[in-house]
Structure 1
Amino acid sequence: MVQAALNGLSKNDLYLFNEGSSYHSYRFMGAHPVRVDGIEGVRFTVWAPNAATVRVIGGFNNWNGSKHRMKRIGKTGIYSLFISDINEGELYKYEIVTSEGTVIRKADPYAFFAERRPNTASVVTQLGGYEWEDADWYAKKREKPAYSNPLLIYEVHAGSWKIKGKEDFYTYDELSDELIPYVANMGYTHIELMPISEHPLDQSWGYQITGFYGVTSRYGSPKQLMRFVDKCHQHDIGVILDWVPGHFCKDDHGLRMFDGTPLFEGPDAKRAEKPLWGTLSFDFGRSEVISFLISNAIYWMDVFHMDGLRVDAVASMINLHMDKPPEMFTFNYFGGSDNLDALRFLKKLNETVFHYYPDTLMLAEDSSAWPAVTAPTYKGGLGFNFKWNMGWMNDMLRYMALDPPERAHHHHLITFSLLYAFSENFVLPLSHDEVVHGKCSLLNKMPGTYEEKFAQLRLFYGFWMTHPGKKLLFMGSEWGQFDEWKDGDMLDWMVLEYDTHRTMHHYVKSLNGFYLNQPSLWERDSNPDCFEWIDVHNAAQSVISFIRRGNSDFSVIVANFSGNNYYDYRIGVPEPGLYSSIINSNDTQFGGTDTQLHPFYSSESIAWHGHNQSISLHLPPFTFLLLNLDPGDTH
């Protein structure tokens, strides 16, 4: 009986799935067009251990599964059925009779595609056959480790970067034609796609998922997504996927109570419920759930050539009490609030991903103070290679929102991050989370007049680009969008008709280009030797100055966060010579007011800030300067 139910399935695969070590379970779970005993058809396989009966229903049987009852495979909890004479494109669901006799209909947890919402059926989909042309990209990745190279990420919501009308989205192919050239022209190294797994509600932005393996049908087919990623790689752009293993939504056709029992979410409602989000946490202590999730991570790299995953809500995964009232608190074996199962899962996830894809980016979106998030697991870490620096982001946005005279009293907000900047491998995120729900756009967080808002945003971007850590910017922020992000509309592209926004756009592009070509800003990002304060203590004038060092070059950075004009502002410099002004945020080409720029500053033998040499600068209000020693100078 067991042998009859296998339909070409491997007993070893099923064992590993149950054991929690099947890292390619998408290859046999779900719906797969196959040939069995010379007959073409589709093999359906699903995990529903507590079901009384499981049937396949679809358009091919008029949604009546009486003739398509699945066979249970021994004690695995897995059901399978081969149905002949059906092909790719068929709609289907699983009809499950629970142990209590209730009949429920569920989408396939492993479906590769689904009907467009609000419809919820899964679609039989063949993933093979796409001819990739990105071998050169993979060779370049091997030659350019992320730690010691520029990483400049453009975060994109595919449903609102550009649209053709209300809920009339660009397809992946149309995004290929417009988004990729735009990103390449702006100088970004990577696109980060907000979640594109199948989800029922547009307003969840993809963070509340029903189909973890399904490429959302809002924007086209899986093959179109493959073409999009392939074209990104051909333009030397990597693609990072925002991945959400922490929770799933409660829609009836999804994972909740999948076989009539709490299967994916676990039996303890206090632990499973995420009341703030109205979702359910995965049961990270269940081996089959681990196979499901780790296989999903590998799936996006195997099938779609994703270059990395930004793992959402790590803090919520590892803390049993986060965002829960005291009456919902649960405790681990030792009486603490750490989710030990989630911690084991994250370590296993990263070990597995790096085993198969050593050059992958695994970025933790983690707001906790958990130590060693980016340390290897063999050293006691969680095994990610980058972590979002939420502390820096929160401090800096709080600081920039202050009235300039108040900044002198909060100087620590711009300096504190350097006390821990090298404790992890950080990405400095200016993400979608900071420009929604009444938080204002980045531009509108800046105080002051219309012109002062733009000047301060340019200043802020300059400091962001030169602070240690890799970079991430949310779409629309590159031209200083005034309105906060509206997920149902496209970005305010029309503002580029105005000089202030157009020059801001030009400034960000110029800043990006300089970053890419300046090794001092990324070559030693994770090494404390890459950074040296010139003057960290000038709170009274709200000015900071520091040095960034690469392997063989250095840059001098000065930032005036005050509204005051400082003449003859002297800073110490590490070497004698002529210092070129490479970036001046107050340049008129960037929308500034400085018409008498100083392209060069000659050092003098005046000891200052612990250096034997110094230069004297003019610092207009809200100005960022980046200076390089002229290599041809023989001063």
Structure 2
Amino acid sequence: MNKKLYDLMDWAGIEGIVYSEEDHPERLLGAHKIRGGFLVQTFQPDAKQVSLKLKKSGKTIVMEQADDAGFFAGILQEKKLIPYVFEVVYENGDSVEVEDPYLYTELLGSNELNRFSNGIHYSVYDYLGAHTMAVYGCGSQAEPEWDVRSAGKNGVYGTHFAVWAPNAMRVSVVGDFNHWDGRIHQMSRLGDSGVFALFIPGVDQGAVYKYEIKVNYKTLLLKTDPYGTCCEQRPANASIVCNTTDFKWKDDKWLEDRKLKKIDKEPVSIYEVHLGSWMKKDCSSPENVTCDQEFYNYRELAPLLADYVKKMHYTHVELMPVMEHPLDESWGYQVTDYYAVTSRYGSPEDFMYFMDYMHRHGIGVILDWVPAHFPKDENGLARFDGTCLYEHMDPRQGEHPHWGTLIYNYGRPQVVNFLIANALFWVKRYHADGIRMDAVASMLYLDYGKKDGEWVANMYGSNENLEAIEMLKNLSEIFHKECPGAWLIAEESTAWPKVTANPADDGLGFDLKWNMGWMNDFISYMQTDPLFRKGRHGMLTFSMIYAYSESFILVLSHDEVVHLKGSMYAKMPGDEDQKFANLRAAYGFMMMHPGKKLLFMGQEFGQTTEWNEKESLPWNEAEDTEHQKLQHYVAELNAFYQAHPALYEMDNKEDGFEWLSSMDADHSIITFMRYSEEKQESLLVICNFTPVLYENFKVGVPHAGKYKEIFNSDAEVFGGSGHGNPRQKCAKAVSWDGREYSISIEVPPLGISVFKYIEK
């Protein structure tokens, strides 16, 4: 090596590069201004010879080897830095042209980094992760054009990688483009942000990659990209470079109309779905020669599910988590990749097609989201940079002992930023109509699922998670500002106050809360033999005591038909006929009760077995006559609900509901009125939860006039016995149940009857 070049060498720095322990490789690698030109250095492990090749002239300059491991240096005698590539020759004689990634080291602006460090960069997913781009110019003059397919003239196309790993010694991008060798693409630490970044020319869509994180002199970690938008299909778990901004959406009208709708004034009937088991391919069939996996693609699922949902008159579907997760048996609730749609059913663009298709066919889509905890998988967020970065260090704060998962550190701005931006990401990038937040109670309480000594109190000595509460309030305010018309739904299983109140009023800011109290009481009541239901009558009526404390959604969800709990059909007492009658009564009462509605898949046709994520729903059962009648009943019930404003317009107002009889435990019968705004529509509802027919049952009513039966769960077309009231009933001035007027009706066994009031 000539003396001039030798004197320019930073030998200690070269050693750091060679041993891949350098977090500022750009200080040596790339081109640096010196007197008389530029010092150009590169590390090409196992290279025999490296030459500089000027792009415009084609002139080559043989570089000198400064270290046997593959460190080369040369002097470019130019007044201005001009584009070049490296010609690399290996020991076996192979040669390749390589762009210098260290010509482009300042592509992520300080504004982006500062906002992220302060926890307020709500589109951070556009910058962290892997993004294809074109770069024009080089050195300090480099100008990036983000998320493009290719570079124009004089530009360089590639992928920009950025990851937050503040406590790492060194971070490298490794993948199929560099033989998974962490020495080749060592990333640059950007100031004190904790972010490492590198633009790698030539890396395109579909490239498989991970981050190799050097924790100390001995420990290497291989991590999936926390902001990666696509992953390999399990059991492989590497990230895949994927552009998610090119899809041509056609649901503009849906999104515009959505902004105008008020959730408290709209009918909402949700079909909860696990995409992997709603319907599977029959790969065992010899006729299905194209079957290469059991799952349908998102594009195949879209018309199948949309047609069924429209047939059943649901307004929305709620998808159990579609974020990438390694274990099928977790149903998606142990997420490893929060920004990646699961590859089980296709690509991000395939899922965008699914969402677009549902919207164009008038169906809203709610996505389950899990910000409460994450699994300990080695490739995931756990001890991401060798320290407890996303979780708490103290296991009393950072672990769920029963679930075997880790708890987010909601006091760390970058972690909160990661979560809030993720909720926005699914609405903005994938057009989700709502986010249903799983296990909110576990976020709110520091002692959730823990024994004495397993948790740490807050600064006031109590069990509220103050940092999580603040995060939820901030999320609500930002979400509703940036995503008008989209909903936040809480699965919150306790009596925490003001879950659906505005944060300005010290609420958490959700739009809806799952009514877990109603669900537990009502299922327990329905499981009771009708002979003994009078002893549990309060379980039927108690929900109305707190019905207006929150904006509720009534749910019969997947949680109630797993872990040996049996299906809804199996829970019902009696013989087959009575099981179906009980289900009709249960679903009917649910639809008449104030609150939005959610029913898990399979329960609409009375699936007899417990749900199993490994199998398709037993659609053969839906072809059986009695199951088919129940399915028809649920469809008609949904349509009836949406056709009558009295059943949804006043859900959250006391004037929308009036008890007529709530104390008749001996008959297990309740009667009540539902009203629309300004009582333009008034409906009388009678619910009989015993298998006894009452032929001349007197019901006190609030008004004189006529009452016409418009819905009856005991109709023969639904599988019932056909008892009902074909003629209108005229209220008589005979007082009953404290009312001045009454009517005498036929009350069907295990039946729900609905009468429309016709003013005198």
1:26 equivalenced with 2:125 (yes/no):
yes
Q: Measure how far apart 1:197 and its partner are.
A: 0.5
2:703 aligns to what? 575
Pairs within 5 Å for 1:505-520:
505-520=631-646
Residues of 2 paired with 1:599 and 1:93: CA distance?
A: 71
Q: Measure how far apart 1:606 and its partner are.
A: 1.5
Residues of 1 paired with 2:722 and 2:313: CA distance?
A: 26
Q: Measure how far apart 1:218 and its partner are.
A: 0.2
Deviation digits for residues 265-314 of structure 1 (CA, Å, limit 9, x no counterpart): 12112111111111101111100001100110110011100011000000
Deviation digits for residues 356-415 of structure 1 (CA, Å, limit 9, x no counterpart): 012111000000111000000000000111100000000000000111111111110001
User: Does the 8 Å contact 1:50/1:99 carry over to 2?
Assistant: no
User: Does the 8 Å contact 2:391/2:406 carry over to 1?
Assistant: yes
Give the one of 170, 189, 200 matched to 1:72: 189
Deviation digits for residues 549-599 of structure 1 (CA, Å, limit 9, x no counterpart): 001111000001122222211112223333221111111100001266534
Residues of 2 paired with 1:289 and 1:116: CA distance?
A: 26
3-state SS of 1:341 partner: helix
Matched AA of 1:560: N
Stretches of structure 1 that go unaligned for 5 or more consecutive residues are: none
1:458 aligns to what? 584
1:185 aligns to what? 311
Once superposed, which parts of structure 1, at least 4 consecutive aligned residues long, lie more than 6 Å away? 1-5
3-state SS of 1:410 partner: helix
Seen in structure 2, the aligned counterparts of structure 1 residues 537 and 595 have a Cα distance that, compared at 3 Å, is closer
Give the one of 100, 117, 122 matched to 2:239: 122
Matched AA of 2:186: R
User: Does the 8 Å contact 1:114/1:121 carry over to 2?
Assistant: yes
Residues of 2 paired with 1:190 and 1:11: CA distance?
A: 42
Percent same amino acid at aligned positions? 45
Q: Measure how far apart 1:630 and its partner are.
A: 4.0
1:176 equivalenced with 2:302 (yes/no):
yes
3-state SS of 1:292 partner: helix
3-state SS of 2:281 partner: strand
Seen in structure 2, the aligned counterparts of structure 1 residues 22 and 5 have a Cα distance that, compared at 3 Å, is farther
1:615 aligns to what? 743
Pairs within 5 Å for 1:40-51:
40-51=157-168
2:686 aligns to what? 558
Q: Measure how far apart 1:418 and its partner are.
A: 0.3
Give the one of 142, 145, 152 matched to 2:269: 152
Residues of 2 paired with 1:366 and 1:5: CA distance?
A: 48
Pairs within 5 Å for 1:99-114:
99=216, 101-114=218-231
Deviation digits for residues 79-106 of structure 1 (CA, Å, limit 9, x no counterpart): 0001001100000000000035301100
Deviation digits for residues 400-446 of structure 1 (CA, Å, limit 9, x no counterpart): 01111111111100010000000000000110000111111111111
Q: Output the aligned Cα RMSD.
A: 1.4
Pairs within 5 Å for 1:371-390:
371-390=497-516
Residues of 1 paired with 2:657 and 2:303: CA distance?
A: 40
Bigger shift: 567-576 or 229-238?
A: 567-576
3-state SS of 2:177 partner: helix
User: Does the 8 Å contact 2:708/2:755 carry over to 1?
Assistant: yes
3-state SS of 2:453 partner: helix
Residues of 2 paired with 1:596 and 1:431: CA distance?
A: 31
Q: TM-score, normalised by structure 2?
A: 0.82
Residues of 1 paired with 2:105 and 2:498: CA distance?
A: 44
3-state SS of 2:591 partner: helix
1:395 aligns to what? 521
Matched AA of 2:617: L
Larger radius of gyration: 2
3-state SS of 2:542 partner: helix
Residues of 1 paired with 2:623 and 2:245: CA distance?
A: 44
Q: Measure how far apart 1:499 and its partner are.
A: 1.2
Residues of 1 paired with 2:744 and 2:414: CA distance?
A: 65
Residues of 2 paired with 1:530 and 1:212: CA distance?
A: 40
Residues of 2 paired with 1:345 and 1:100: CA distance?
A: 37
Residues of 2 paired with 1:472 and 1:6: CA distance?
A: 50
Give the one of 658, 668, 675 matched to 1:549: 675
3-state SS of 1:486 partner: coil
3-state SS of 1:60 partner: coil
1:52 equivalenced with 2:178 (yes/no):
no
Matched AA of 2:567: S
Higher relative contact order (CA 8 A, sep 6+): 1
3-state SS of 1:383 partner: coil
1:306 aligns to what? 432
1:353 equivalenced with 2:452 (yes/no):
no
Residues of 2 paired with 1:496 and 1:66: CA distance?
A: 58
1:269 equivalenced with 2:395 (yes/no):
yes
Residues of 2 paired with 1:604 and 1:5: CA distance?
A: 86
Residues of 2 paired with 1:600 and 1:485: CA distance?
A: 43
Matched AA of 1:565: L
User: Does the 8 Å contact 1:5/1:71 carry over to 2?
Assistant: no
User: Does the 8 Å contact 1:111/1:211 carry over to 2?
Assistant: yes
Residues of 2 paired with 1:607 and 1:66: CA distance?
A: 89
Matched AA of 1:436: V
3-state SS of 1:582 partner: strand
User: Does the 8 Å contact 1:51/1:259 carry over to 2?
Assistant: yes
1:227 equivalenced with 2:376 (yes/no):
no
Q: Measure how far apart 1:195 and its partner are.
A: 0.1
Residues of 2 paired with 1:596 and 1:203: CA distance?
A: 45
Q: Measure how far apart 1:497 and its partner are.
A: 2.0
User: Does the 8 Å contact 2:724/2:748 carry over to 1?
Assistant: no
Stretches of structure 2 that go unaligned for 5 or more consecutive residues are: 1-25, 28-101, 137-154, 284-292
Give the number of aligned pairs: 632
Give the one of 108, 111, 128 matched to 1:12: 111
Bigger shift: 559-568 or 357-366?
A: 559-568
Matched AA of 1:18: S
Seen in structure 2, the aligned counterparts of structure 1 residues 463 and 77 have a Cα distance that, compared at 3 Å, is same
3-state SS of 1:224 partner: helix
2:616 aligns to what? 490
